[in-house]
Amino acid sequence: MNATAVIFTVGIGTYMLRASMFVVLGGRTPPQWLQRPLTYVGPAAIAALVGAMLLTTHGQVSVGSIPAVVAALSAFVLVRRTGNVMHSFVVGMPVFWVLTALGV
Per-residue tens of pLDDT for the chain, all 104 residues:
689 999 999 999 999 999 988 888 788 888 899 888 988 998 899 889 888 888 888 878 888 788 988 998 999 899 899 988 888 888 989 999 999 999 88
Helix axis angle, 86-102 relative to 66-82, nearest 10°? Answer: 150
Burial class (CB in 10 A: 0-12, 13-18, 19+), 52: exposed
The domain locations on the chain are: 1-37, 40-104
Q: What DSSP state is assigned to residue 29? A: P
